[in-house]
Structure 1
Amino acid sequence: MIFLAIRYLIERKRQTLLTFLGVFLGTMAYVAVSGFFLGFHVFIVEQLVNNAAQIHIQARKDYLSAHQLDQAFYENSYRHVFWYFPPSGNLGYLEVQDPQSWYERLARDPRVEAYSPLLTTAALFSLSKISVSAVLIGCNPIQQQKVTSIADYVVDGHFRDLAVGGNRVILGDELMKRLGVGINQTVRVSVGTGNASPFKVVGRYYTGNRFADSQAYAAINDVQRLNGTPNQVNEIGVRLKDYRQAAAIATNWSRIAPERTESWDQQNANILSVFRIQDALRFSMIATVVIVAGFGIYNVLNMTVNQKRQDIAILRSMGYDTFDVVMLFFSQGLILGVLGGACGLFAGYFFCRYLQTIPFMPAAPGNPQGYLHISLDSAIYIQAALVALISSSLASILPARAAGRLTPIDIIRAGG
């Protein structure tokens, strides 16, 4: 039966080739597009997960609404209060209220891999007559290396050098350029209260993100002393053993303390919404593969059935039953689907390998050549193979069933 199916396909070389190319190109395109989209997805998620804390425990910032104080000022007639200039301001806190209880809670939680207290403040960096405002982040250097991947981006010096203390600072590449400062030089840092303090530049980091590279890191004790707020922290960064649980854990923690607790995906919901659009494009690719391959196979088999009516009559007269005739034409579509899909998978894989050698993105420490991030996940190839196989099978059913219903007497009556 397989021999007859192959012979019928060979007899119609042009139609068979066009159908094969439809399945081949559709499968190859699905592999390449899915690899690109998923590679970009994985790259962005890795950046969001590793470059910052996976859960941020921050001092709560609630803002006054226009009528929030009406009842407090006008107890009996607060429903009829209208403000020319409504109350405004911040009802929150400047710091985490009880950081020690958070440290104990995080240390006991088996889901937590590491945590680091932070004190983030606006600062003015001065060198000679040059002054630049930037964000100064005070952290526990040893713990911060476990929570984020900032240490991997240090290109001069070592991030752990901050742990020595003594007013040391690591500047972002952009901030160093704006100040014109070099390694082992001293800058004066002021937070607006008190006198400026000298800080020795012991390192430089470069992430490729201009905003991130305009910040600076120092030991939290030095920043607390500079800020005049000993033992104060305004954020605790947390890294989990499974980052996918971050949203559920953050929501649960937000119910047990006054601090604002957000996960990495909650803070980047707008960015992650782009991936839903990518998924829609991928699914449209699946639909395209199914339609192109299905119509091609259906047309080829339908024409073959009409042109091979006499052969069907002869086969039925020789003793071939309905199932044999159905399998004869069904196997033709299956052969096209399997061969086209298999060749498309191999071509898609090597095309993805080629895309990985294209310098398309800006150079960064984690990707110095700026190559494209292409996913080679086995799930992509399994999905592509299933799409090719299912589309060819579905498109083969109707012509095969039509061929199986033909009997010798019906063919003779129809003039076959």
Structure 2
Amino acid sequence: MAGIALGVAALIVVLSVMNGFQKELRSRILGVTSHIEVVGMDGALMDWQRVAAQALKVPQVLAAAPYVQGQVMLNGLNREAGEGPVMPGSGVRGAIIRGIDPQTENTVADFNTHMKYGALDSLQPGAYRIVLGSDLARALGVVVGDRVTVIAPEGVVTPAGVIPRIKSFEVSGVFEFGMYEYDSGLALIDLKDAQVLFRLGQTVTGVRLKVDDPFNAPQIARSIAPVLDEPAYLIDWSRKHANFFRAVQIEKRMMFLILFLIVAVAAFNIVSTLVMAVTDKRGDIAILRTLGASRGSIAMIFMVQGALIGLIGLGLGVAGGVALALNIETVVPAIERLFGIHFLSREVYFISDLPSDLQWDDVMTISITAFVLTLLATLYPSLRAARVQPAEALRHE
């Protein structure tokens, strides 16, 4: 019973954690990235207003926002002594810089709810302000009100050679999504400032779209393609981050198979326990047979015994597993504080907390599978008990 309870509880908890990782990863990714991106063939979209208007004609598309994106180097400027605390950091980092229109960006992404300091609306054309991820700001050693130097790869040709474009920006906000990939490598500036920085004129990199059903984004992207006049690539979020979700799904299946072996070992213990019971009760079985008990009734006795072991263990495992899965976000931090450890480092893992998403379909699948395995484990001992010959068993009694 203890073995079955442990195996069932472990399966429920682990699958709930894997579901939680998948859900949390999806929600955090969709908070930063768009459901669908319309990107120009050569990295530049000429008439983005027309592209956005055509995409919005598709009923499933809810909002559209232009963006400019490129890779830059950021250098945190040192403050003079007495002007505030200096945060630790090397001062120089590579990052993805995204030029956005704050008003339309809020319709396709969820930056406002993840702003730690400042506001996204502080980005204004010509003000040259920048919003940084929390880990990026920490690495640069800057806070709100400080300045950073942005070094773009698009250079200026001079008699002395090609000189990179350099522009100073004021830090006006810090966001934190809880995903190290974005918190340490993404910066936001105003769309007009990005067009000036990357010398794009009135063109943009692409248009970000929000749809009513993110899980149907690939089909919606295929329906948008015919309505666009300008040639462009359509990339949905599931393609951009497919490796993450494939990895989580494969790991979930493999963990189910591996942990299912615990239940299999517990079922083998039921076999050994019932075989020993049959050996110990051979005389009693023989007496029952002489009193008129059929082979089927003898087999049913041991099948009921094995089924009761399985049901009690299964009940304890489901109760314990569900209770732990529903409270894992409280239990794990308590264990971390007790032992002074941290299971998921932000620098290593995309998600630093241990999430849980209990799905009753998984609980039902685990329960049915474990119970069927328990019933199968009772077949051999029950058939062995039914084959006991009364004369042989009572010969030495």
CA distance in 2, matches of 1:182, 1:391: 59
Give the one of 150, 171, 175 matched to 2:111.
150
Corresponding position of 1:387: 369
TM-score by length of 2: 0.75
Match of 1:399 among 367, 376, 381: 381
Counterpart in the other structure of 2:233: 260
Aligned to 2:339: none
Equivalent in the alignment of 1:285: 258
Give yes or no for contact 2:14–2:255 (8 Å, CA) kept in 1.
yes
| Change in 2 beyond 3 A, CA 1:380/1:109 | same
Q: Deviations over 1:12-71 (max 9, x none)?
A: xxxxxxxx22212222222233233333333323332322112222223xxxxxxxxxxx
Query: 5+ unaligned residues in a row in structure 2: which ranges?
Result: 79-90, 157-164, 337-341
Indicate the residue corresponding to 1:115 in structure 2.
Answer: 64
Q: Distance in 2 between matches of 1:107 and 1:126?
A: 39
Deviations 1:278-321 (A, max 9, x none): 13422323540342122111222223233333323433444544
The residue matched to 1:203 in structure 2 has which SS? strand
Whether the 8 Å contact between 2:8 and 2:263 is mirrored in structure 1 is no
Q: Which amino acid aligns with 1:104?
A: A
Task: Quote the residue 1:205 is aligned against.
Answer: 175
Q: Does 1:411 align with 2:390?
A: yes
More strand by share: 2
Distance across 2 between alignment mates of 1:102 and 1:153: 29
Match of 1:171 in 2: 132
Q: Give the Å deviation of 1:330.
A: 0.9
State the SS of the aligned residue for 1:298. helix
- Cα 1:220–1:393 change in 2 (3 A) is same
Tell me whether 1:52 sits opposite 2:1 in the alignment.
Answer: no
Q: Cα–Cα, structure 1 residues 323 and 154, in superposed 2: closer, same or farther, change >3 Å?
A: same
Question: Quick one: which amino acid aligns to residue 108 of structure 2?
Answer: V
- The corresponding residue for 2:343 is 360
* 1:160 lines up with 2:137 in the alignment: no
Cα distance, 1:255–1:378 mapped onto 2, change above 3 Å: same
TM-superposed deviation, 1:160? 2.8
Letter in 1 for 2:105: Q
Residue correspondence of structure 1 range 63-102 to structure 2 within 5 A: 93-102=42-51
Cα 1:164–1:310 shift into 2, 3 Å = same
Identical columns (%): 23
The structural deviation recorded for 1:233 is 1.7
Displacement after TM superposition at 1:328 (Å): 1.4
Deviations, residues 197-250 of structure 1 (Å, cap 9, x unaligned) = 765432222345266534432232343355554542212222333222223333
Structure 2 counterpart of 1:300: 273
Secondary structure in 1 aligned to 2:63?
strand
Question: Counterparts of 1:126 and 1:308 in 2: how far apart (Å)?
Answer: 81
Q: Per-residue deviation at 1:392?
A: 0.9
Q: What residue in structure 1 maps to residue 317 of structure 2?
A: 344
Q: Does residue 223 in structure 1 map to residue 194 in structure 2?
A: yes
User: Quick one: distance in 1 between partners of 2:135 and 2:3?
Assistant: 50
Distance 1:313 1:255, change over 3 A: farther
Aligned equivalents of 2:374, 2:136: Cα separation in 1: 59
1:309-362 deviation per Cα after TM superposition (whole angstroms, max 9, x unaligned): 332343344454444333211111111111111112233344443236445335
Equivalent position of 1:73 in the other structure: none
Greater C-alpha Rg = 1
Q: Which residue of 2 aligns with 1:86?
A: none
Which secondary structure does the structure 1 equivalent of 2:314 belong to?
Answer: helix
1:169: how far off? 3.0
Tell me the TM-score normalised to structure 1 length: 0.72
1:378 aligns with 2:378: no
Superposed CA RMSD: 3.6
Mark the CA change 1:296 to 1:132 in structure 2 (over 3 Å): closer, same or farther. closer
Contact 2:302 2:381 in 1 (8 A): yes
1:136 positional shift: 3.1
Q: Give the superposition deviation at 1:122.
A: 4.6
Instruction: Describe the SS at the equivalent of 1:393.
Output: helix
SS at match of 1:58: strand
Judged with a 3 Å threshold, the aligned counterparts in structure 2 of structure 1 residues 311 and 223 are, in CA distance, closer, same or farther, namely same
Unaligned 5+ segments in structure 1 are 1-19, 61-92
One-letter amino acid of the structure 2 residue matched with residue 278 of structure 1 = E
Give the C-alpha shift of residue 389 in structure 1.
1.1
- Specify the code of the residue in structure 2 equivalent to 1:327: M
1:255/1:270 CA distance change after superposition, 3 Å: farther
Distance 2:241 2:56 in 1: 26
8 Å CA contact retained: 1:293, 1:391: no
**3-state SS of the aligned residue for 1:361?**
coil
